[in-house]
Amino acid sequence: MKRLLLSCLIALPLFASAQKHHEIGIWGGVANYYGDLQSKWIPTGTANSRTYKPSGGIIYKYFINPSVGFRFSASYIRVTAADSLSEIAANKRRNLNFANNLVEVYGGIELNLLPIDMEKFHFTPYIFGGIGAFYGSPFTKDANDDKVVLRNLSTEGQGLPQYPDRKVYPLVNAVFPFGGGVKCFVGNTLVISAEVGLRYTSTDYLDDVSRSYVNMDTLLAYKGQKSVDMSYRGNTTRQWDGNYPNYQFQRGDYKRNDWYWTAGLSVTIYFDAFGNVKKYIQTTCPRIFGRR
């Protein structure tokens, strides 16, 4: 990914004399997650359909020619997963679940594989890559269906003096989006795009799960019974079943950071430069007054 972005930056001067244009609009679709509570990129089945959540945002693009452009996006993305949907027996016994409402911003480069514009190609596949940041705080619901913010409970000993190597994880993290899609003109004004975008994140705590269990008595003393209950949820009633795992028994896979992805449609308005949108909304009606 780094090599691709560097190659694109080096190539930019080659297109300096080409036609420029802007696009601005909105996108909407679904999002899902890949991590310690979800081992499949594309969950299938009726039960797993609940893990696909609506998401959307605004998007702006500036193309220095019909093939190469910059894109900027601000989005709201919701992800969720549950061990109860897992095919892994140990995860079912663990019985964790989470949701996270992400606010994401990023910038990147977009490459049209065909030089799309109003005069030439009206359809093209494209790819993109970039870098950005997102804010997100994982949460769950307790047995009374009350919202519980997981970061506050130090479920893996984060921030406790007995575990100095486990720091409280940040709520703002880096994200590296990349993906592709297809786009086409609708008339001379709108561009419709269908797109899939993957996001690699700089954190393994998108789901509040990363490392091993910690001592139950330590959690109880420093964070209370709620922390114990949310660290290991025991059985289908979401209550601790008396079989809390031994200290240092693996809870998550700290060697792999979490991912999330989106798929959806965007609608953007196409225009050459700010201030000349009139060109794209002219009709074919004859003039009644004034010069032709």
Give the DSSP letter of residue 244: P
- Looking at residue 284, its pLDDT comes to 40
Whether pLDDT at 11 is above 50: no
- Looking at residue 90, its pLDDT comes to 85
- Looking at residue 237, its pLDDT comes to 46
pLDDT band at 178 (very low <50, low <70, confident <90, very high): very high
Q: Which residue has the higher pLDDT, 188 or 265?
A: 265
For 225-267, write each residue's pLDDT tens digit.
999 999 999 854 444 456 788 877 899 999 999 999 999 999 9
Calculate the alpha carbon distances from 83 to 38, 53, 96, 145 in Å: 8, 17, 5, 17
Whether pLDDT at 1 is above 60: no
Q: In the chain, where are the structural domains located?
A: 2-88+96-136+171-207+262-275
SS3 label, residue 60: strand
Residue by residue, DSSP assigns the chain as: -HHHHHHHHHHGGGGTTSPPEEEEEEEEEEEEEEBTTB--SS--STGGGGG-EEEEEEEEEEESSSSEEEEEEEEEEEEEEEGGG-S-HHHHHH--EEEEEEEEEEEEEEEESS-BSSSSBSEEEEEEEEEEEEE---EEE-TTS-EEEGGGGTTT-TT-TT-TT-PPPPSEEEEEEEEEEEEEEETTTEEEEEEEEEEEES-S-TTS--SB---HHHHHHHH-HHHHHHH---STTSS--S-PPPTT-B-S-TTS--EEEEEEEEEEEEESSTT-GGGGS--SPPPSSS--
pLDDT band at 13 (very low <50, low <70, confident <90, very high): very low
- Looking at residue 285, its pLDDT comes to 44
Cβ proximity of 130 and 107 under 8 Å: yes
Whether pLDDT at 158 is above 60: yes
- Looking at residue 283, its pLDDT comes to 42
Residue by residue, DSSP assigns 251-279 as: -S-TTS--EEEEEEEEEEEEESSTT-GGG
pTM to 2 decimal places: 0.85
Average pLDDT over residues 128-152: 97
Average pLDDT over residues 143-166: 96
- Looking at residue 259, its pLDDT comes to 98
Q: How is residue 201 written in tokens?
A: 């994140």
Cβ proximity of 82 and 74 under 8 Å: no
For 49-95, write each residue's pLDDT tens digit.
999 999 999 999 999 999 999 999 999 999 999 999 999 888 988 99
The single-letter code of the amino acid at 143 is A
Cβ proximity of 34 and 79 under 8 Å: no
Q: Which residue has the higher pLDDT, 148 or 242?
A: 148
Pick the CATH number of 2-88+96-136+171-207+262-275 from 3.30.360.10, 2.40.160.20, 3.40.225.10, 3.40.190.10: 2.40.160.20
Q: What's the mean pLDDT when you consider all of the chain? A: 87
Whether pLDDT at 151 is above 50: yes
Which of left, alpha, beta for 169 (phi over 0: left; psi -120 to 50: alpha)? beta
Q: Which residue has the higher pLDDT, 245 or 10?
A: 245
Which of left, alpha, beta for 121 (phi over 0: left; psi -120 to 50: alpha)? beta
Cβ proximity of 55 and 100 under 8 Å: no
- Looking at residue 261, its pLDDT comes to 98
Average pLDDT over residues 20-38: 96
- Looking at residue 53, its pLDDT comes to 97
- Looking at residue 16, its pLDDT comes to 41
pLDDT band at 288 (very low <50, low <70, confident <90, very high): very low
- Looking at residue 17, its pLDDT comes to 43
Average pLDDT over residues 187-193: 91
The single-letter code of the amino acid at 102 is L
Cβ proximity of 147 and 170 under 8 Å: no
- Looking at residue 239, its pLDDT comes to 47
Spatial distance between the Cα atoms of 21 and 53, rounded to a whole number of angstroms: 33
- Looking at residue 114, its pLDDT comes to 94
